[in-house]
Structure 1
Amino acid sequence: ASGAAMAEGEGLISVDYEVFGKVQGVFFRKYTQGEAKGLGLVGWVQNTSHGTVQGRIQGPTARVQELQEWLRKVGSPQSRISRAEFSNEKKIAALEYKDFQILK
Structure 2
Amino acid sequence: MFLILICVFSAVVMSQNKLTSVDFEIFGNVQGVCFRMYTEEQGRSLGLSGWVKNTRQGTVIGQIQGPMDKVNDMKLWLKNVGSPSSRIDRAVFSNERDMCKLELHGFSTRY
Match in the other structure for 1:3: none
* 1:18 paired residue among 13, 25, 49: 25
* 1:84 paired residue among 80, 91, 95: 91
Match in the other structure for 2:42: 35
Gaps of 5+ in 2: 1-12
Distance between the aligned counterparts of 2:94 and 2:73, measured in 1? 16
Aligned residues: 99
Show CA shifts across 1:50-103 (max 9, x none).
000000000000000000000000000000000100000000111111100100
Distance between the aligned counterparts of 1:9 and 1:33, measured in 2? 22
Letter aligned with residue 37 of structure 1: R
Would the alpha carbon gap of residues 21 and 7 (structure 1) be closer, same or farther in structure 2, given more than 3 Å must change?
Answer: farther
Shift of 1:7: 8.1
Distance between the aligned counterparts of 1:82 and 1:88, measured in 2? 21
Distance between the aligned counterparts of 2:86 and 2:14, measured in 1? 30
> 4+ runs of 1 displaced by more than 3 Å?
6-9
Identity %: 51
RMSD: 1.4
1:66 aligns with 2:69: no
Query: Structure 2 length as normaliser, TM-score?
Result: 0.86
Are the counterparts in 1 of residues 15 and 69 from structure 2 also a CA contact under 8 Å? no
- Higher helix residue share: 2
Specify the SS of the correspondent of 1:32: helix
Gaps of 5+ in 1: 1-5
